[in-house]
Amino acid sequence: MQQARAIRTRRGRRRLRLPGLRAPFVGLLLSLLAFLSPDLTLAPLNAGEPHRARPMPIDLLEVAPSPSRVQPIDADPLPAPTSTPTAPPDTGADYAAAIEAARTTAGARGITFAAVRDGQLLWSGAAGRDREGDARLAADDPLVIGSVTKTFVAATVLQMVEEGRLDLDDRLREHLPDLRRFAGDVSIRQLLDHTSGLADVFNDTTRRGLEEHPEHPWTSAEILASVHAPWYEPGKGWAYANTNYYLLGLLVERIGGATLADEIGTRFLEPLGLSHTRVLTGTEEGGPLSPAWATIFWGSGAMSASAADLARWGDALYGSDLLTEASLEAMSELNDHDYGLGVQRIELPNAVGYGHTGLLNTYTTLLVHLPEADVTLALLVNRSHVDLGAMLAAEAGDGPSLLELATGS
């Protein structure tokens, strides 16, 4: 692990501490990944799920459907962007133009975006339609956030540590003794930072289930029985695996005595007023995830949120008293893959921050706090295979981009 040091901020608020700046080396491997794993999408800045029995030396992967199952993008006229009136009229018009430029750059049916500073919403808006193309997206419409779910699960675990109910170096088997196959010497910390060595829940068996029987809700026994042998001994490597956060979800329920949804709701959603955020079960009427997708990726990716809710969440998580200084310090100790305890370093055009990304099914998400500007951004897209950084930097003619507007640069 590297020694963390502070990134300079403009304000005196409490901030997550991160190592110095460096660019991850992944470009050379992109084409190889696409050839070897046609059902995986590598989204820029994204965290995700390698399905091979051996970890791949690529920073962060996400699960997405094969290209044949991606919702087609057609040339139908799209509605004008919608927004909440939180910015001055002139700035609001700039935001509306910039969000449409971002949508066009992605070739997405629809996107939502929000920027928050010190708990105050600077602007939120939407452009385009829902994934089916039937309805105009509104600023408060929730979209699937994929692996950004991990920020909620990690924060829940860290609060339980603060309460004295867990220790980061506890072995999983101390709390879930029935899971002998997965417990071993794996610690809570190793689950949080993906150094457990456990293979991913996205594998040949679950892939077939997602494709052939999306209506089938998977039980924990079915999911865990599908997981391959470990990739490496605990603590001897690093590979992103959704299994880690699936097990953390089970741990939260065992320690808390309530469902993961209830724990997240009681601890964070209700106190912060995040009324457009929820854990998905696959039973929602007209919900965005089928039962198979929701149950297999559960604690690792099955949540939905509005852009404003997500930006408020990031602002509270990284810049308030939601967690103690000790928890924030533990969270921010990044490894050589720029990953900590449910947080990753994120590099954007002319900006560096931290947060998490998500890609699940046909949804891509970015949550990032930019300490230099002291602003938190949320970008949600109802399409996979998108360049999130390019979307934020997209300009409408000579006008500013979303990133420029939000950061004041």
pLDDT at 207 over 90: yes
Is 41 part of a structural domain of the chain? yes
Mean pLDDT, residues 326-342:
95
Choose between 132 and 206: higher pLDDT: 206
pLDDT at 353 over 50: yes
pLDDT at 279 over 90: yes
Q: Are 356 and 376 in contact (CB under 8 A)?
A: no
Q: What share of the chain is helix, strand, coil (3-state, %, to 5)?
A: 35, 15, 45
For 86-106, how does the pLDDT look when each residue is reduced to its tens digit (9 = 90+)? 666 557 899 999 999 999 999
For 304-332, how does the pLDDT look when each residue is reduced to its tens digit (9 = 90+)? 999 999 999 999 999 888 999 999 999 99
pLDDT value at position 34? 31
Distance CA 113, CA 330 (A): 29
pLDDT at 352 over 90: yes
63 bridge partner residues: 40
Distance CA 281, CA 32 (A): 34
pLDDT value at position 332? 93
Q: Are 346 and 357 in contact (CB under 8 A)?
A: yes
Is 281 part of a structural domain of the chain? yes
Question: Phi/psi zone of residue 128: left (φ > 0), alpha (ψ -120 to 50 degrees), beta?
Answer: left
Q: Are 348 and 363 in contact (CB under 8 A)?
A: no
Is 348 part of a structural domain of the chain? yes
Going from the C-alpha of 74 to that of each of 71, 78, 108, 204, 388, the distances in angstroms are: 9, 10, 9, 32, 21
For 212-249, how does the pLDDT look when each residue is reduced to its tens digit (9 = 90+)? 999 999 999 999 999 999 999 999 999 999 999 999 99
Mean pLDDT, residues 353-366:
96
pLDDT value at position 211? 96
Residue 333: which domain range? 27-73+142-146+262-398+402-407
pLDDT at 18 over 50: yes
For 37-81, how does the pLDDT look when each residue is reduced to its tens digit (9 = 90+)? 323 222 333 333 332 222 222 223 355 443 322 233 333 455 666
The CATH number given to whatever domain includes residue 343 is 3.40.710.10
pLDDT at 29 over 60: no
- The helix/strand/coil state of 128 is strand
pLDDT value at position 58? 22
The tally of domains found in the chain comes to: 1
Is 19 part of a structural domain of the chain? no
Mean pLDDT, residues 270-290:
95
Confidence of residue 10 (pLDDT cuts 50, 70, 90): very low
Is 313 part of a structural domain of the chain? yes
Enumerate residues 6+ apart whose C-beta is below 8 A from 56.
29, 33, 50, 239
pLDDT at 291 over 80: yes
Q: What is the CA radius of gyration of the chain?
A: 20
pLDDT at 33 over 80: no
Confidence of residue 131 (pLDDT cuts 50, 70, 90): confident
What value, to the nearest 5°, has the Cα angle with vertex 201 and ends 185 and 369?
85
Is 159 part of a structural domain of the chain? no
pLDDT value at position 181? 79
Is 164 part of a structural domain of the chain? no
Confidence of residue 144 (pLDDT cuts 50, 70, 90): very high
Confidence of residue 19 (pLDDT cuts 50, 70, 90): low
pLDDT value at position 385? 83
Average pLDDT, rounded, for the chain: 83
Distance CA 237, CA 239 (A): 7
Tracing tokens 């910039």 back to the chain, one arrives at 98
Distance CA 293, CA 281 (A): 9
Is 93 part of a structural domain of the chain? no
Task: State the alpha helices, DSSP H only, in 230-365.
Answer: 242-256, 260-264, 270-272, 291-301, 307-319, 325-331
